[in-house]
Amino acid sequence: MQSHESTYRALDSHSIRPKAPAMPDAVYVRDAFARIADRYVLTNHVLSCGMDIWWRKVVTARIRRWKPKSLLDVASGTGDLALEIQDHCPDCDVIASDFCAEMLAHAASRGVAHTLVADALQLPFPDGKFDVVTVAFGLRNMADYPAALREMFRVLKPGGHLLILDFSLPGGILRTPYRLYLHHVLPRMAGWLTGQRDAYEYLGGSIEAFPSGDAMCDLLETCGFTAPDARPLTGGVVSIYQATRPMP
């Protein structure tokens, strides 16, 4: 197993901000999620003070307006977003995919009707299959963001929508205290809850490395999407990004 030190080689755990983090390593990421799968849902709720439930409801409310018939939730993990969408969009066929079978087993046991073990960088679907593709807290963990976004673009129908929910960094005076929480408090708390502190030390580095705001909108356009939009929630702790696969 690769350690988190080599996954984010430049991470200096004594500083507030890691220096020049590298891209996530797929083997480490899959193993880390397999190790925390049993405690993942509870730990999320505790560390976000329950805010993660509301963030997924905001995403689902947006999707409902589009009345999709088919939706792929990439990197669905334990299926929290897929379940929310399944409950509120009863006419939509929701497929939850993830490359970590241990995480996806929880999604299935919690009631997600269609689950599929699959790597987001090589989705086993034909071009233009889905009305909507979602990815919550997943893209950040992938080894190649542009390749993953191009794959999501490929499986979307022309005119279909992509929704990304992920962590970002708050601006202004909140940034420094948030970084202290992220790099020092959160890994300790998560370590107590899961016994896997390193998986949560990885989290801070991955958030620092992840493009946010205008940078994510630029990346979406580079990958072929149009009308990219970024909306920060909870003071910028997370952001929702929306973009569309253009009609030919």
Ligand X SMILES: C[S@@+](CC[C@H](N)C(=O)[O-])C[C@H]1O[C@@H](n2cnc3c(N)ncnc32)[C@H](O)[C@@H]1O
Q: How far is the CB of 247 from ligand X (least distance, A)?
A: 28
DSSP-derived letter for residue 126 is -
Nearer to ligand X, 98 or 208 (CB): 98
Instruction: Tell me whether residue 19 or residue 110 sits nearer to ligand X (CB atom).
Output: 110
CB nearer to ligand X: give 31 or 93: 31
Q: How far apart are CA 152 and CA 117, in angstroms?
A: 16
Task: Give the CA dihedral 188, 192, 195, 196, nearest 10 degrees.
Answer: -30
Min separation Cβ 151 and ligand X, Å: 9
Name the phi and psi angles at 240, rounded to 5: -110, 130
- Give residues in contact with ligand X (CB under 6 A): 26, 29-30, 33, 75-77, 80-81, 98-100, 103, 119-121, 136-138, 141-142
Report the Cα–Cα distance between both ends of the chain, in Å, rounded: 44
Closest separation between CB of residue 34 and ligand X, Å?
A: 8
57 CB contacts (<8 Å, ≥6 apart)?
Answer: 84
The helix-helix angle for 145-155 and 214-222 (nearest 10°) equals 60
CB of 50 to ligand X, least distance (A): 14
Q: Which residue lies nearest ligand X, judged by its C-beta? A: 77
Q: How far is the CB of 172 from ligand X (least distance, A)?
A: 26
Structure tokens at 198: 């390193």
Q: Give the integer Cα–Cα distance in Å for 8 and 27.
A: 13
CB-wise, 35 or 171, nearer to ligand X?
35
Beta strands 70-74 and 93-98: pairing type? parallel
Residue 121 CB, shortest distance to ligand X, in Å, is: 5
Residue 158: Cβ-neighbour burial (10 angstroms; 0-12, 13-18, 19+): exposed
* C-beta closer to ligand X: residue 80 or 131: 80
Judged by beta carbon, residue 48 or residue 70, the one nearer ligand X is: 48
How far is residue 234's CA from residue 182's CA, in Å, rounded to a whole number? Answer: 15
